[in-house]
Amino acid sequence: MRKICLIASSGGHFEQILMLKSLINKYSGFIITEHTEYNVNVEGCTTYYLLQVNRQEKKFPFLMILNFFKSFRIYMKEKPDVIISTGALSTIPICLIGKLFNKKIIFIESFAKVNSGTLTGKLMYRFADQFYVQWESMKEIYPKAIYVGGIY
């Protein structure tokens, strides 16, 4: 049986990843998101929290390093076979760790992006095993992406 990690930053990215929660019920898995003032507890799912990251902050590099170590601990504890992400920055470490351990990485570009890619999407496009876009127009930006419509 495959173990799935669903990971997304807070806000809209997290709302999108929750659309895939049924995969955890079908297989086995857990959720990772950012620790915010309005933490969520997804009923029936093990949930882990990373530090919230904003690339505009001066402490951005330090927070990314801390999230890398937190992600590594989570990865070693859970050992997922598949990592599915909708972004953003805080999700990069576990995706890189999963790639180093030869696990399947699936990235879904944000529903909000219709004509341009996100910074995280541009990075993940280079090494994700499957890269999905939710708008057909995004195939111009990510030619090898898979278009299947919105996950909503």
Tens-digit pLDDT profile for the chain (152 aa)? 689 999 999 988 999 999 999 998 888 999 999 998 776 767 889 999 999 998 888 999 999 999 999 999 999 999 999 999 999 999 999 999 999 999 999 999 999 999 999 999 999 999 999 999 999 999 999 999 999 899 87
CA distance 93 to 113: 22
Is 96 within 8 Å of 135 (Cβ atoms)?
no
pTM: 0.94
Domains parsed from the chain with CATH numbers: 3-147 (3.40.50.2000)
